[in-house]
Amino acid sequence: MRKKLQLIATCSVLAISTTGFSQTPARYLNDVFTSVQKTSNVIYGNNLSVLTGTLTPSDLKMDVYEPTGDTATKRPLVIILHSGAYLPAIANGSAIGSKTDSAVVEMCIRFAKKGYVAVAPDYRVGWNPTSTNQDVRTGTLLNANYRVMQDARNCVRYFRMDKATTNTYKIDTNKIVMGGLGSGAFVALACGSFQRQKETDMAKFTNLTLSPPAKYVDSSIMGNVYGTDARSANTPNYPTYSSKIHMVFNCGGSIGDSTWIEKGEVPVVGFQCTKDPAAPYKTGAILVSSTGAFVVEGTGNGDILRILNKANINNNKKLKDSEFNDVYTTNANKANQGYEGLYPFITPAPGAAVTCAASPENQKEQSAPWDWWNEAYLTNAYNSYSSTTNGGIVNCRQKLGNPDMSAAKARKYIDTIQGYLAPRMVCALGLPGCVPKSTTIGIAETISSSTVSVFPNPATSAINFSINGANNIQSIALYNVTGTLVKQISGLNIKNYTITRDGLISGFYIAQIQLNTGTVTKKIILE
């Protein structure tokens, strides 16, 4: 009876474990919609902008991307915050800085095709990076970040208000993800970890030159961390609704301090260039990109995910307890020191391929290889904005951080971001298709005294399968990363078998090995 129950358990577990490899594309994991509808400039609130030098009420607008023809009535929401160094595009010396940035639009379309509602909001910008006074640089940057965090949380509340009233967007408000690129990544991380005003009770967030010393961000003026109270520099929007989110992802960026990471906060998935000049990969200085002037110390993904993976924090438990069988995970694990949720990008320095006369950035490493822009547009727009002919130099300086900038290159990076992120979003949000890690353990434990070996792994030309003990190999089925059956051998009843590559492309595969008493699943990499 015990053996019979074991076999039943094995079959049940196998049925669960193979759902991630269905031959039918799975919603939220794959593109299941062919087109997307975009609603532009939806007003999600109104707040006080400092961009003109005086507090000016300004509408907050967003673009909403939805899968065309979708009939689902409860859909997860992904909010993606653009980069731009908290200044408008062109004025910040780049083409990046709005909800219509190429990478933001591409990410929103990809998510909407997977079945999410994806949102790209604009937000309040403005600070003084050119000041020679560090306290001015630090104070204006921290206040800029704070305002954007309030706006991002306001965007979350807008959708909860919509759900409770007109339900226009059919959002599942228990499944909300906050993501960001570049400076937007700073904000996304803050939305996940900066929950209380007292988290800035330390010297680095305090202007010590004042008497008495005072925090750079004065909540009596700026409002609370959620932006739900009326103050002289803040107008509350939908204050009775929750600002809660359920996951964060960031491409670049950092958090204000590692102590912000506390038990019980949301899971995080982070992507960052290991030599990112815009934000520290571990813990270090945040600098003004154009001058190299110090602003404040921050903590990047190399330390964020290390801390999140520690047992006493355990925020990423949902991810650590899940099985991710994909080539993106394999590649990440080669460089992330075993920290689940961390994808390090190792990029080359620009070298001599890009040179800009009198540029202070001629040794700049890559920071945002997922970005691309129209070079002629940036050059001409900057010339018009500045009434100079410096647009070409400005464009060149931007390319120092992305020397082989192109749409094709950027989309390859976005392929990786989406490929690594999608299964983790499914698991963090409790969506269909997540495979528990215990599933794989359960399969192995039900094969009693037999052990299946697969070697070499990774393989280049052939894969050997071998079993010891009382069992024999009856059949082998090989599936690619999309779940398509690419090779099957039946009627074996032997101890050893070799599968030749026969034109299979490089990548990750799943082998299902049928034995006399059950099935074993093995992960295989072809190089």
The verdict on residue 81 lying in a domain is: yes
Q: Which residues pair with 526 in a beta bridge?
A: 459, 507
Give residue 5's pLDDT band: very low, low, confident or very high (50, 70, 90): very low
Tokens 């003084």 belong to residue: 128
The CA distance from 259 to 281, in Å, is 16
The verdict on residue 382 lying in a domain is: no
Q: Is the pLDDT of residue 260 over 50?
A: yes
The verdict on residue 225 lying in a domain is: yes
Same domain membership, residue 504 and residue 364: no
Same domain membership, residue 477 and residue 420: no
Q: Is the pLDDT of residue 1 over 70?
A: no
Q: Is the pLDDT of residue 13 over 80?
A: no
Same domain membership, residue 510 and residue 424: no
Give the range among 19-33, 59-73, 233-247, 440-454 with minimum mean pLDDT: 440-454
The CA distance from 279 to 300, in Å, is 7
Q: Phi then psi for 458, rounded to 5 degrees?
A: -70, 155
Same domain membership, residue 474 and residue 414: no
Task: Return the structure tokens found at 383.
Answer: 């010339």
CB 239 within 8 A of CB 328: no
- pLDDT score, position 481: 65
pTM attached to this predicted model: 0.81
- pLDDT score, position 450: 57
Same domain membership, residue 300 and residue 182: yes
The verdict on residue 434 lying in a domain is: no
The verdict on residue 25 lying in a domain is: no
Same domain membership, residue 410 and residue 277: yes
Q: How many C-beta atoms surround the C-beta of residue 485 within 10 A?
A: 12
- pLDDT score, position 343: 98
Same domain membership, residue 125 and residue 74: yes
Task: Return the structure tokens found at 337.
Answer: 């020191």
Q: Is the pLDDT of residue 361 over 70?
A: no
Q: Is the pLDDT of residue 108 over 60?
A: yes
Average per-residue pLDDT for the chain: 88
Give residue 363's pLDDT band: very low, low, confident or very high (50, 70, 90): low
Domain residue limits at 469: 450-526
Same domain membership, residue 249 and residue 132: yes
The CA distance from 134 to 11, in Å, is 64
Tokens 């039918």 belong to residue: 24
- pLDDT score, position 483: 65
Percent of the chain with pLDDT over 70: 89
Give residue 311's pLDDT band: very low, low, confident or very high (50, 70, 90): low
- Burial status of residue 244 (CB atoms within 10 A of its CB: 0-12, 13-18, 19 or more): middle
With CA atoms as reference, report the closest residue to 365 among 344, 388, 389, 336.
Answer: 344
Give residue 362's pLDDT band: very low, low, confident or very high (50, 70, 90): very low
CATH code, domain with 517: 2.60.40.1930
The verdict on residue 137 lying in a domain is: yes
Torsion of CA 313, 317, 323, 326, to 10 degrees: -60
CATH code, domain with 53: 3.40.50.1820
CB 14 within 8 A of CB 515: no
- pLDDT score, position 403: 84
Same domain membership, residue 150 and residue 250: yes
> Number of helices and strands (H, E) in the chain?
12, 19
**Selection from 227-231, 284-288, 451-455 with the highest mean pLDDT:** 227-231
Alpha helices in 348-507 (DSSP H): 375-386, 391-400, 407-429, 437-445
Handedness of CA 156, 162, 168, 170 (dihedral sign): positive
* Cα three-residue angle 19-25-28, rounded to 5 degrees: 85
Tallying the residues shown for the chain, one arrives at: 527
Same domain membership, residue 491 and residue 425: no
The verdict on residue 192 lying in a domain is: yes
Tokens 């359960």 belong to residue: 442
CB 341 within 8 A of CB 315: no
Q: Which amino acid is at 24?
A: T
Distances (CA, A) of 129 to 87, 148, 232, 371, 430: 10, 17, 24, 22, 42
Q: How many domains is the chain built from?
A: 2
Same domain membership, residue 344 and residue 252: yes
The CA distance from 403 to 366, in Å, is 8
The verdict on residue 199 lying in a domain is: yes
Give residue 448's pLDDT band: very low, low, confident or very high (50, 70, 90): very low
- pLDDT score, position 310: 86
Same domain membership, residue 100 and residue 245: yes
